[in-house]
Structure 1
Amino acid sequence: MNASPEDPLSQRPSRIRVDLDRLSHNLRSIRAHVGVPVMGIVKANAYGHGLVPVARHIQAQGVEQLGVAFLEEGIVLRQAGITLPILVMGGIFGRQAVQFIEHDLEVTVSSLDKLRQIEAAAEALGRKAVIHLKIDTGMERIGVHSYSAAPFIEAAVASRWCELKGIYSHLACADDPGSPMTLQQLERFQEACAHFERIGAPMPLRHLANSGGILHFPQTHLDMVRPGIMLYGVLPDPVSRRTVDVKPVLSLTSQVIYFKVVKAGNPVSYGATWAPTRNTRVVTVPIGYGDGYPRGLSSRGQVLIRGHAYPVVGRVCMDQFMVDIGDDSAWNEDEVVLIGEQGDAAITVESLAQAAGMSAYEVLVGLNLRIPREYRYS
C-alpha cells in the first residue's frame, strides 16, 4: 500500500515505485509465451516489490497460483485475504505441518519422512493436506533423487490424508541458454514422472520451468511455469536472452539533500578512498547500504540527475552517499534516480548489479522496508 500522509515514511525523500501496469503487462507476456497456467512467485517480499500488494494485483489479473518460500509468507497472504492456491516451496519442519493445513497452504513434500509428518497432521485435523512432491534432478538442495523416486511416488499416491496435486523440480542452470544441464534435468524429471504411468496412477500437475526455463527452454514448460524475477521485468543472469517482452516494474529514487564544492585533493567519505583531482561539485543523497543500496557501488555506481549520469564517489555510507556532478548544477530536492528512467537515460537493476559485483536477485531482495513503496499505474 502507498504510505499515508500521517505515516513518517511518507516524509522520506527516498522511495520505491512499483508500476502495476508493467506488472500486468509482464504477466500477460509470460502467459502468451508459455500457453500454460502461471504460478507467480512472490517470495522474499515479492523480490523487493512488496508481498501483499503484488499478490493482490496479480490475483486480480487472474494468475492461477502463487508460490512462496516459507510458511510465514503464506500465512501473511492468507491474513491479507488472498484466496489463490499458494504453494510453500521451502523445506518444512514437522511442527509446522498443522499450520499448513489450517491456513489452506499447499505443502512441498521432499521426503517420505515429511510425507508421514503431513499425513499425521492431516489425520489429526480430519482434513486432507494438498501436497506437491519435490524431485531432486540436480540441485542437491531438497527433494528425493529422481533415480530413487519410485517408492516416494507410490507412498504419495496411496496416502489417505494427502491430496497429490503436483510434482516438481528446480532448474539449476536454465538462466544460461547454452547450459546442457537443463535438458539433463528435464530428462531425469520426466523419467521420475513416468512412474505414475507404470503404476496406473493419474499424472499430477508437473511444473519445472523457472524464469530461465521460460526464457530459454520451452520443453520445460509442461503443465505450469513458475516465473520469479522475470515477472518483475528483470533478467535472471547477464547471459539470459530477453525472449519474452517484459518490462522493469520497480524504480528507486531519492533527492539531493546537500550540495557543496569539494577542493582538489580533499577526500570524500569513509576511508578517504576517493578525492577529486580538481575542484568539483558534490551532492549528497540520503540513502545508503542501510536501505539496501549496495556498498559495492562505492566509486563504481552511477545515478541520474536532470537526465544525466553521474558517478557515485567515495564509500557508500549506511544512510547516505555522495555524487560528483563536476561543473554541473543541482539543487536540493532535485530527483535522483538510482534504478529506473529519467528523460532518455536509464539505470537498470541488471547494470547496477553488474557494477556492484552482485546478482540482480541480491539487489532486488536487499531493498528493505526502510524504503517506502508506492504502487502506481503508468
Structure 2
Amino acid sequence: MQLNQPTITSSGSLRPTHVEVNLDCLCQNLKAIREKTSPAKVMIILKANAYGHGMDAVARHLAPHADYIGVAVLEEGILLREMGIGAPILVLGGIWEEQIPDFIKHDLTLTASSVERLQQIDRAAERLRKKAIVHLKIDTGMERIGVHYYNAHTLQEAALGCKNVVTEGIYSHFANSDADDLSHARLQLARFNETLHFYEKHSLPTPPLRHIANSGAILQLPEATFDMVRPGILLYGVYPSDEVQRTVVVTPALSWSSKVVYFKVTQPKHPVSYGSTWQSDAETRVVTIPVGYGDGYFRAMSNKAQVIIRGVKVPQVGRICMDQMVVNLGADGSGYNGDEVILIGQQADQRITAEDLARWAGTIPYEILTNINTRVPRVYTP
C-alpha cells in the first residue's frame, strides 16, 4: 500500500523547490514534551502524512522513541505496519463494519465510538479467533464521533460484556484547549472525569490508558495529562494557536525553499500574473519562483505573502499560479537566477513561519503544513 508518497521521481536534477525536515529536531521536541508530561506515555500523531513532514521517514525515526502512534484512518495504520513499524497504533477516526477484520489482522487498535460498533468488533474478533484491542471514545463536547458523556455508561457496560475485546483505553478530545479562555476545556475535562467515575462506582479496574490531552492541553492543562498524551502539531515544533501558553519550548522541524528561476525588469503599469491584480507605478525588478498552489502554496496568499531572498523579506505580487509565482524585488532590489528563496524557514536574521503563511491565507498552520503537496520532495537531515 502506498499513501502520501512523492509523485515524482527522477535520476536527474529535480526542480529546486523542496521541503527539508530536521529529524533530530523532532526528537528534541518529543523529549521536551516527555519532560513536561512525565510519567505519562506519549502517543505521537502521524496522521496526514505526519502533518506534511512525510510519514515514512518520520515514523521510522520516531517510532523507537514513542509509546504509541496515532493515525486518522485505517490505510495509514496498514501503511505503518507494511513499513515494519511494530509500535501500538490507534486509529482515531470513525470506522465501518467491513473494515474491522483488516484492523484486527494488522494488530491495529480500534476506536469504539458506539455500542453497535463495539459489538461488531467483538463478533469480528470471534470469527478471526483473535482479541481486538479497543479504546472507548467519549464525546465530552466536540460533537464528532463518540458516545455522549451522559450516555457513556452504555458503552462502558457493553465493553464489559465483550468476550473478544480488550478495552485498553478510554479517551476524549478537546475542542479548544489552545484557547485563552479555557472554560469549555475545563468543562470537557470535568465530564471526562465524571465518565471515569463509572469504574470506581462499580469497583472495576479503570482501562490502563486514559487520554484526552492534545497539544493545547499539554501546554496549558496539566491536570488533563492522565496516562497518555497525544501531541500533534506541537511535536513538529509549531504551537496550536497564537494565544496558547508556550510552556514547552519546541522548534519547527520543517523548512520550505526554492530558487529563483527567472529575473526581469518590469515597466510601469505592466500588470503581473493572472487577473492583472498588481502593477508597479515605477520600473521594478521581479523574479519568478517555481512554486504555486499546486504545491500547496495557497492562492489565497496572493499579494499578501512574503519570501526571503538574500536575507531580505520581499513581497509576492500578482496572483499565485498553480506552479509559479512572482516576487517584487523593488527598483534597487537584488536577486538573480539560482538564488535561494525561503518560503518557510530562516535566512540570515530573517524568518518566515507556518504561522505567517496561515495568517496570509486566513487559515491555521495545520492546514498550511498538511497541504504541502507530495510532488514537493522531502529531504531529511541530519
User: Match of 2:49?
Assistant: 45
Partner of 1:85: 88
In 1, distance between residues paired with 2:380 and 2:163? 44
Inter-partner Cα distance in structure 1 for 2:290 and 2:153: 57
Match of 2:72 in 1: 69
Which of 214, 223, 238 aligns to 1:210? It is 214
Q: TM-score, normalized by length of structure 1?
A: 0.97
Question: Partners in 2 of 1:373 and 1:126 — Cα distance?
Answer: 41
Q: 1:274 to 1:234 in 2, by over 3 A?
A: same
Change (3 A) 1:296 1:51: same
* Pairwise CA distance, 1:196: 1.1
Q: Following superposition of structure 1 onto structure 2, how do residues 1-378 of structure 1 map, counting pairs within 5 Å?
A: 7=10, 11-35=14-38, 36-60=40-64, 62-204=65-207, 205-326=209-330, 327-377=332-382
The separation in 1 between residues aligned to 2:328 and 2:158, in whole angstroms, is 64
Tell me the alpha carbon deviations over residues 228-275 of structure 1, each in whole angstroms, 9 at most, x when there is no partner: 001001111122222101000000000000000011111000000000
Mind listing any 5+ residue stretches in structure 1 that lack a counterpart? none
- Once the two structures are superposed, what CA deviation does each residue of 1:110-153 show, in whole Å capped at 9, x if it has no partner? 00000011011100000000000000000010000111111210
Q: Which amino acid in structure 2 is aligned with residue 112 of structure 1?
A: V
Question: How far apart in 1 are the matches of 2:263 and 2:132?
Answer: 60
User: Which deviates the most, 199-208 or 118-127?
Assistant: 199-208
Q: Is the 8 A contact 2:119 2:162 kept in 1?
A: no
Gaps of 5+ in 2: none
CA–CA distance in structure 2, aligned partners of residues 159 and 196 of structure 1: 16
Structure 1 vs Structure 2 CA RMSD: 1.5
> SS in structure 1 opposite 2:210?
strand
Q: Distance in 1 between the 2:378 and 2:303 partners?
A: 27
**Against the structure 1 CA distance between its residues 225 and 373, is the aligned structure 2 distance closer, same or farther, given a 3 Å change threshold?**
same
Letter in 1 for 2:172: S
Report the secondary structure of 1:54's partner residue: helix
How many angstroms does 1:192 deviate by? 0.6
In the alignment, the residues of structure 2 paired with residue 91 and residue 306 of structure 1 have an alpha-carbon distance, to the nearest angstrom, of 48
Identity %: 52
The CA deviation at 1:2 is 12
Indicate how the Cα distance of structure 1 residues 295 and 8 shifts in structure 2: closer, same or farther if over 3 A, else same.
farther
Q: Which secondary structure state, in structure 2, belongs to the residue aligned with residue 293 of structure 1? A: coil
Question: Per-residue CA shift, 1:85-124, capped at 9, x if unaligned?
Answer: 0000000000000000000000000000000110111000
Q: How far apart are residue 200 of structure 1 and its match?
A: 1.9
CA distance in 1, matches of 2:13, 2:130: 44
Distance 1:8 1:279, change over 3 A: farther
Deviation at 1:178, TM superposition (A): 2.0
Cα distance, 1:6 vs. partner?
A: 7.0
Deviation at 1:368, TM superposition (A): 1.2
Answer yes or no: is the 8 Å Cα contact 2:306–2:314 preserved in 1. Answer: yes
Greater shift after overlay, 149-158 or 218-227?
149-158
Alpha-carbon separation, structure 2, partners of 1:9 and 1:350: 34
Measured after TM superposition, the shift of residue 34 of structure 1 is: 0.8
Structure 1 residues 135, 369: CA separation in 2 closer, same or farther (over 3 Å shift)? same
SS in 1 for 2:379: strand
Partners of 2:292 and 2:12 lie apart in 1 by 16
The aligned amino acid for 2:34 is R
- Aligned-partner Cα distance in 2 for 1:321–1:48: 22
Q: Is the 8 A contact 2:5 2:374 kept in 1?
A: no
CA contact (8 A) 1:134 1:168 kept: yes
* Runs of 4+ with >3 A deviation: none
**Alpha-carbon deviation of 1:8?**
5.6
Q: Tell me which amino acid in the other structure corresponds to 2:368.
A: V
- Quick one: distance in 2 between partners of 1:134 and 1:177? 26
What secondary structure sits across from 2:95 in the alignment?
coil
DSSP-derived class of the 2:41 partner:
coil
TM-score by length of 2: 0.96
Corresponding letter in the other structure for 1:172: A
Distance 1:68 1:173, change over 3 A: same
Distance 1:2 1:329 in 2: 36
- How many Å apart are 1:59 and its aligned residue? 1.3
